[in-house]
Structure 1
């Protein structure tokens, strides 16, 4: 569950969302009614905090954070937002995540403005002074009525935030409103809010409450990740005219397409990305709309895997080709079951267990089928040595993957520098970040960082994906070598490529364990 906190606007006829109606939506709900209905599934009784008195609002938020045992989702009450955007923000694995928008620039599309995963070039006039030499400033620009007082860069997190009293070096973004805080950061949020409340007299009338919260979190060492709206809708509204514009604009955006795209893992391998996920998502949507569950799709994948093994066991070329086709589609449906789960929001412990367990089962039963087919074709039984080698190697790799994942989750997140909240600007924070960057660029950390940076090149990115021999590449290797060659070639491919992958992966994990 997630604890929801609604930030109410200051009193006033034009800023109260209780009377602003979304006439473009069925039932013409008010902005508040719609938002409350959207968050009910997460929190049936969301906390509401009036933001008119900043100090009182911060103390009230601190009380909520202190009593929270789950993550917090903070959002202004006058927000018009897609359900899917709320879902994606609250399902983040980041300790903190904020929705941001970059300051508009001439010649850059709105879609690119919202793509905040990578640094974009600054406007030409700002490049007259390098950012390392730029002076902190009080952001005076505004985007969608919000002050431009945040700095974001290529680290996929918010670098610094300012206020009407605190300067920030070259601000380039606004904090739109939605903010997700993990349970582990809730105590820091509570402490931060109390510190901010004690210095509320320093803030200006145009300082937004969410902006102040993130300002405090960043200075207290919390890594606040960022994301843009991308192909989803979010806007704060204060007048009926703005509501009338927001309703049709939101309705005109394809929320279902975004939901479908989000159902596909963003970090899949080369084969999965280009030869499966390009169309498997549409199979997933078709299956979900007809009531098929992820577990039922998993059973289809298992059945196809067993059928492929049976075809391989014949040893005859036509059946070997058919087996290659079947094992390919067994993998397709292995992807589809997860996509159905994410698209239909149907998750369960049984499903996760089935998926992980029977992925291995399909591989190993296919190994047996290939070895049997080789023997019944009149060849040597020595093939079983290769089959056992492939099985043993893959089993060890899965064991290492599992154990490293468990250990890595126990590792506390790296701490960021902290600076006093009353520091007049972000000079000290930026200096500490530069020092941290230099320290992390030395020794083993430096090698890992250099290898990470190399991944920005497309060829290197996909080479790194393929060298680890993920499940997509393994199933593709089995399908192709079995259909066009023989079981011996299949097992040699699995053992050789798998060994290279094991050495590469183990080396990387040993290095990461040392830092």
Structure 2
């Protein structure tokens, strides 16, 4: 469940005055999206999208506009100005037990973009538009020498008053608050985990008491992010990427936005998002390049992730049986079959993410039977080595097989136990700054001191190792050294097909031993950091 708050009084774009009857801005209730099915209004479409998140949306609107919003459904709270907007929002979110999604009511946005924002792992996230740097422009002086400013630059009619870096919002400005070298504009949508709802209500009320300091271009979403950042809440950032978001103000820019909207392939973006971004080298380049299309085909024909998991298990058992024959043809067939077992192991997760079909049973089946397939293949290889007669009584091969199983079991134990412990670890708090301080330099100074204190000793070594991952060869080397399941199945398929089970097990033991040592060392260092 997600509590959705729509802001019906979003300021118009800077530098223009939206036309309307009697000088009144055009409301999103009047903007028709004629190219979309059913020709809904901008507000009507947004209401439908908000309702799909599981709760009745709340719209905060001016008294004179409230009737127009009520006609199209939804709960409307009347508000006379920015201060009242903030009070109304605080009242709406203060005691909620749901996550909170805030968005201007004149937004045109893809369903998939809403999904990606609301399902992001970050506890707080904002949609931003970054400044495009001119490659021919001279390099600016170091940020340490820059003076805070009231940003005058405009991006898509929005003030460029946000400083973003390291994956989050560093500082936010208003017509009162100065920012050191702003490089982005806040587009509007904000998503917060329920644990931040009380902080959001608190800063909204404090900002309401400062409303006389703000200008007509200051947006409620911008003010909220300002307050949250200065309360030490880490606000992650993301751009639109391959999806669409735009605020609509007039029939003219609505028509233009619809043309742009039609140029985006939302289904392809959804399909690409179904592929995990953290996959290993083999999975990324030898499976996910085409498995996503199998996933879409399967999802459109009603196949469930659990059914795909059963297909993967079937291929895995066939592979184990082929390996157990002890013949060269059987080892080659086993290598091919284990590859397809892994392909369908990837497809089941991609179907779940593409079709939005998640379940506890599916997650348990996937995690459990990955190990089952792998260990069944180990047994099949050892049986095949014994049956072939190439290795005497096969005792040496069975010893290697049991060693490989033991190493993988230890590695899985390290991964799952560390993950569980790390989730219970409280994050290091970010610096805070009073909302009445107009200059953001104290916040930047505190952040710099925090960064320097965390870049020493073990934590400093880990930071350097993290930075090394920016180089693509190092990135993929780090992915491969931990011996993920894709690399393990590839190693089994190749060595069994071209060599014999003993070479397969030696590869698994040596590579698995290096992976276990690397993983254990990393876990210990991160625990000490």
**TM-score bin, normalised by smaller chain:** over 0.9
1:88-107 matches, cutoff 5 A: 88-106=116-134
1:505 aligns with 2:519: yes
**For residues 271-327 of structure 1, what are the alpha-carbon distances to aligned partners after superposition, in whole Å with 9 as ceiling and x for unaligned?**
000111111101101111111110111010000000000000001001110100000
User: Does the Cα contact within 8 Å between 2:95 and 2:198 map onto a contact in 1?
Assistant: no
**For residues 223-256 of structure 1, what are the alpha-carbon distances to aligned partners after superposition, in whole Å with 9 as ceiling and x for unaligned?**
1111111110000001111111111211221111
Q: 1:150 aligns with which of 162, 167, 175?
A: 162
1:5 aligns with 2:5: yes
The residue that corresponds to 1:222 in the other structure is 233
User: Does the Cα contact within 8 Å between 1:146 and 1:208 map onto a contact in 2?
Assistant: no
Q: 1:273 aligns with which of 277, 284, 305?
A: 284
SS in 1 for 2:83: helix
Distance in 2, Cα, partners of 1:10 & 1:105: 28
1:433 aligns with 2:461: no
User: Does the Cα contact within 8 Å between 1:260 and 1:285 map onto a contact in 2?
Assistant: yes
Distance in 1, Cα, partners of 2:297 & 2:80: 48
Q: Do the aligned partners of residues 330 and 137 (structure 1) sit closer, same or farther apart at CA in structure 2, a change above 3 Å counting?
A: same
The residue that corresponds to 2:194 in the other structure is 183
Distance in 2, Cα, partners of 1:210 & 1:81: 16
Question: How far is the alpha carbon of 1:479 from its aligned partner?
Answer: 0.5
User: Does the Cα contact within 8 Å between 2:149 and 2:181 map onto a contact in 1?
Assistant: yes
Distance in 1, Cα, partners of 2:90 & 2:427: 23
Distance in 2, Cα, partners of 1:357 & 1:388: 19
1:280-291 matches, cutoff 5 A: 280-291=291-302
Distance in 2, Cα, partners of 1:482 & 1:38: 51
Question: How far is the alpha carbon of 1:106 from its aligned partner?
Answer: 4.2
Distance in 1, Cα, partners of 2:249 & 2:80: 14
The residue that corresponds to 2:71 in the other structure is none
1:412 aligns with 2:426: yes
Distance in 1, Cα, partners of 2:418 & 2:314: 31
**For residues 386-408 of structure 1, what are the alpha-carbon distances to aligned partners after superposition, in whole Å with 9 as ceiling and x for unaligned?**
11111111112111211111111
The residue that corresponds to 1:110 in the other structure is none
Q: Do the aligned partners of residues 49 and 507 (structure 1) sit closer, same or farther apart at CA in structure 2, a change above 3 Å counting?
A: same
Q: 1:395 aligns with which of 375, 396, 409?
A: 409
Distance in 2, Cα, partners of 1:507 & 1:59: 50
230-239 or 198-207: bigger deviation: 198-207
Distance in 2, Cα, partners of 1:432 & 1:106: 30
User: Does the Cα contact within 8 Å between 1:10 and 1:52 map onto a contact in 2?
Assistant: no
Distance in 2, Cα, partners of 1:230 & 1:30: 25
Q: Do the aligned partners of residues 307 and 10 (structure 1) sit closer, same or farther apart at CA in structure 2, a change above 3 Å counting?
A: closer
Distance in 2, Cα, partners of 1:221 & 1:352: 34
1:289-304 matches, cutoff 5 A: 289-304=300-315
128-137 or 298-307: bigger deviation: 128-137
1:423-462 matches, cutoff 5 A: 423-462=437-476
Distance in 1, Cα, partners of 2:41 & 2:140: 47
User: Does the Cα contact within 8 Å between 1:97 and 1:180 map onto a contact in 2?
Assistant: yes
Q: Give me the CA root mean square deviation.
A: 1.3
Q: Do the aligned partners of residues 313 and 52 (structure 1) sit closer, same or farther apart at CA in structure 2, a change above 3 Å counting?
A: farther
User: Does the Cα contact within 8 Å between 2:10 and 2:220 map onto a contact in 1?
Assistant: no
User: Does the Cα contact within 8 Å between 1:149 and 1:174 map onto a contact in 2?
Assistant: yes
User: Does the Cα contact within 8 Å between 2:50 and 2:56 map onto a contact in 1?
Assistant: no
Aligned length: 498
Question: How far is the alpha carbon of 1:363 from its aligned partner?
Answer: 0.2
User: Does the Cα contact within 8 Å between 1:393 and 1:498 map onto a contact in 2?
Assistant: yes
Q: 1:67 aligns with which of 88, 95, 104?
A: 95
Distance in 2, Cα, partners of 1:225 & 1:38: 23
Question: How far is the alpha carbon of 1:10 from its aligned partner?
Answer: 5.9
Distance in 1, Cα, partners of 2:496 & 2:447: 53
Q: Do the aligned partners of residues 128 and 77 (structure 1) sit closer, same or farther apart at CA in structure 2, a change above 3 Å counting?
A: closer
1:334-413 matches, cutoff 5 A: 334-378=345-389, 379=391, 380-382=393-395, 383-413=397-427
User: Does the Cα contact within 8 Å between 2:131 and 2:184 map onto a contact in 1?
Assistant: yes
Distance in 2, Cα, partners of 1:286 & 1:341: 13
The residue that corresponds to 1:473 in the other structure is 487
Q: Do the aligned partners of residues 105 and 52 (structure 1) sit closer, same or farther apart at CA in structure 2, a change above 3 Å counting?
A: farther
The residue that corresponds to 1:81 in the other structure is 109
User: Does the Cα contact within 8 Å between 2:243 and 2:269 map onto a contact in 1?
Assistant: yes
The residue that corresponds to 1:29 in the other structure is 40
1:243 aligns with 2:254: yes
User: Does the Cα contact within 8 Å between 1:9 and 1:52 map onto a contact in 2?
Assistant: no
Distance in 1, Cα, partners of 2:253 & 2:472: 42
Q: Do the aligned partners of residues 460 and 372 (structure 1) sit closer, same or farther apart at CA in structure 2, a change above 3 Å counting?
A: same
SS in 2 for 1:75: strand
Distance in 1, Cα, partners of 2:370 & 2:214: 56
Distance in 2, Cα, partners of 1:364 & 1:293: 25
SS in 1 for 2:4: strand
